[in-house]
Amino acid sequence: MTGQVNGQPSSRALAAVVVVANLVVCGGVVAVLGAARDGSTPAAFTPATTTGAPPTRDGPAQRTEPVPRDEPTAGQAPGLGGGFTEVTGPGGMTTRIPAGWPTKRASGKGSTQADDPTGTTTMLRYGGSATPATDTYDVHADYERTFASGKQAYVSIRLERTVVRGMPAIDWEFEYDAADVRRHVRSVYWLADGHEYFVYASSPVPIWEQTRKILDVMLTYSTP
């Protein structure tokens, strides 16, 4: 999971520009304005109910109340057996990523990337950038159509409205065939204080379950 305008345009135009600039793919997609998903979710996040089929565009599900869940122990993710460290991303947001994962500036505006040092090709991204938008769903939906048209065997799992800590959010999750492996990607974006923030994870499908747990920690411990 930042719309922006060019010149002195509309909120949506501004939002669209930021989305295109921020969404990037590790063999697929990235973001500052749209992306990521999956199985169980952290306490701070309430996805709308979905199946696994591409979502309909005429009425995305929407929830207003988070579902209580147990949060992972600070500094550690369930089932991972390793420590996490707090990092500060673009836009002043903070989150937690696995300790020892090197970070670098990602190609998209307002985005930092962390790569698994063990060579699994798992990639995390997080950050945020300013936007006047109060609803970026249409921006993300437009970008998804463009993105999907250029990806081999793209399958949408969900692109829907949700809430993160009571703030309006977008949850985007999908799979596609990269050059060497099929990848699973999920991003969650939320609007707060004139910014759109996001956390994102991408990995080969066979190891997505472990990657999902990392993303859960990133979202649970993210701010604002």
Sheet holding 167-177, edge to edge: 45-46, 152-164, 167-177, 182-192, 195-204, 123-130, 111-115, 103-105
DSSP structural state of residue 67: P
- Rounded mean pLDDT of 86-99? 97
pLDDT at 23 over 70: no
CA distance 7 to 212: 38
pLDDT at 109: 85
pLDDT tier at 82, thresholds 50, 70, 90: low
pLDDT at 19: 39
CA distance 6 to 32: 16
The domains found in the chain, sorted by start residue, are 11-220 (3.40.1000.10)
CB 36 within 8 A of CB 170: no
84 versus 72: the higher-pLDDT residue is: 84
pLDDT at 46 over 50: no
Which residue in the block uniquely carries the two structure tokens 């996001």? 198
pLDDT at 29: 38
Question: What's the mean pLDDT when you consider all of the chain?
Answer: 76
DSSP structural state of residue 82: S
- Rounded mean pLDDT of 69-90? 63
pLDDT at 108: 82
This prediction has a pTM of 0.67
CA distance 203 to 110: 21
- Rounded mean pLDDT of 99-114? 95
- Position 187: which residue type? S
CB 37 within 8 A of CB 52: no
Query: Residue 52: how many CB atoms within 10 A of its CB?
Result: 9
196 versus 77: the higher-pLDDT residue is: 196
pLDDT at 72: 39
pLDDT at 130 over 60: yes
pLDDT at 38: 38
- Nearest partner of 31 among 219, 202, 209, judged by Cα: 202
| pLDDT tens for each residue of 133-144 | 999 999 999 999
Torsion of CA 78, 80, 86, 89, to 10 degrees: -100
**21 Cβ neighbours under 8 A, 6+ residues apart:** 4, 32, 108, 109
| pLDDT tens for each residue of 182-223 | 999 999 999 999 999 999 999 999 999 999 999 999 999 999
Opening angle at CA 54, ends 5 and 165, nearest 5: 60
CB 85 within 8 A of CB 96: yes
Choose from 17-26, 30-39, 104-113 the range with maximum mean pLDDT.
104-113
CA distance 167 to 141: 19
CA distance 28 to 154: 10
pLDDT at 107: 86
pLDDT tier at 36, thresholds 50, 70, 90: very low
pLDDT at 139: 97
